[in-house]
Chain A
């Protein structure tokens, strides 16, 4: 298959099929509807499972069931729908079951709007569910990167027995761009799912139980310590980021997803004017690429965190920067998209952007 022009949401769906998805459970919500629409046609035609649930709450628990049974399973939704799924996501993370959750962000809070946004960074990386759990969160910027990430995310989820979230904004979901689905992904040794609840006939002498209940506080603490060790391993192995134009930059922009692309164009414009600006583009939002910040030159004038939100990743930028440089913020929200000129202006007037 050569390069094809495809809508982001459809590319998510096709990449999931290429990644070997067995089952999709979900509920309609704009702007991600092309994901279930595409899968409804192509999964059922290939003897796989597609089921439209009665609610997001139900969908995520269907995912829980199928993941526990050992299937490659996914759901997709958008901001208010992901909010409804948080309880189930916490259970899945606690029971250490692998699955893929696609989140196509729209403006919030509340019912908000339907235009592109990055206002669910907290929701993705901090979680709305209860307890000490983390998702592995990837935020690709192009449809090619979306497809590659989706394909690989099933392996990563299986390897760590942890839910993976692929976080994009509505623009990535709705836009069309060329994509090649045959790019190879990293090969991983994936152990048998000998924990799957698929009937003791498949594993005589042992009952498999998918469970998050630990009534003994000591046992629950041990479980949490185990989870943290796993997250630390994920941090070590799966942190992803890109350093762009990092040739002794005066300013460093930190941005992900669509905002990173807008900033790439802004950086070209600034460089033409002789202002050297580099960028750290986090690809994994959890684990966050804190180490990249060590590469920022000591004499850099500042870091500009740019988001389609009122400042959420900003927290991680401040933590990673650890007081070394001035940090400024540029944000648009509610579905408003900046053009590159606005970023150019923000860098030129950096002092007005500095976060107190």
Chain B
């Protein structure tokens, strides 16, 4: 198993956290995880992206030509990376902000209204976790137990009260995919 994942969006959409959760989850499950961000001034209010590799083998190259999975939180990110998804790859996009239908031949394209889900839950910051739920429902990379442990770690004691809303967002994301009836992995 080896997944090359690209996560991209505006700064502040929780793009980096999305990627880090996956890398932490890999270590938690005792497989290998590697995360690296785009860094510097471009991440301050502009577009942000990170690359994640999750693998049950030793991870060599930290760079990859094509991602197996693209998680795009906004339109510019989708445009920037949609051509760099491998055949049979997954393009998961935030349909709250990307209104066009997305199609790439040979790739599975799924839109998730992440911001709408988050708004319904009363906390716009959990849009990234709605995407996470959808992503996990499609890829089955990590169990709920693993993800919950990682989210707990991220929130720490100070934000522990936010665990519930984050987990609800993940569940809503999963439910959305189930209702849609799309399968990927």
Q: Report which A residues bind B (CB closer than 8 A).
A: 3-5, 30-31, 114-115, 170-171, 174-178, 258, 261-262, 264-266, 268, 337-341
Contact = CB atoms under 8 A, between A and B. Distances in A.
A3 B27 contact: yes
Interface in B36-53: 36-37, 39-40
Given A175-B34, A340-B65, A268 B60 contact: yes
Nearest to A343: B61
A228 to B, nearest CB: 38
B60 A177 contact: no
Given A4-B27, A5-B27, A176-B20, A264 B33 contact: no
Contact of B23 (A30, A114, A176): A176
B184 interface: no
A339 B40 contact: no
A340 B60 CA distance: 10
B37 A174 contact: yes
Contact of B62 (A5, A258, A266): A258
A261 to B, nearest CB: 5
Interface of B: 20, 23-24, 27, 32-37, 39-40, 59-65
A178 B35 CA distance: 10
10 contacts: A5-B27, A114-B40, A176-B35, A176-B36, A177-B59, A178-B33, A258-B62, A268-B60, A340-B63, A340-B64
Contacts of A266: 61
Q: Most A CB atoms within 10 A — which of B27, B32, B36?
A: B36
Given A4-B27, A175-B36, A264-B61, 8 more contacts: A30-B40, A31-B40, A174-B36, A175-B37, A178-B27, A262-B60, A338-B63, A340-B63
Contacts of A31: 39-40
A340 B61 contact: yes
Given A115-B40, A175-B35, A261 B60 contact: yes
A261 B62 CA distance: 7
Contacts of A341: 65
A339 B36 contact: no
B39 A5 contact: no
Contacts of B20: 5, 176
A114 B39 contact: yes
Given A176-B36, A178-B32, A265 B23 contact: no
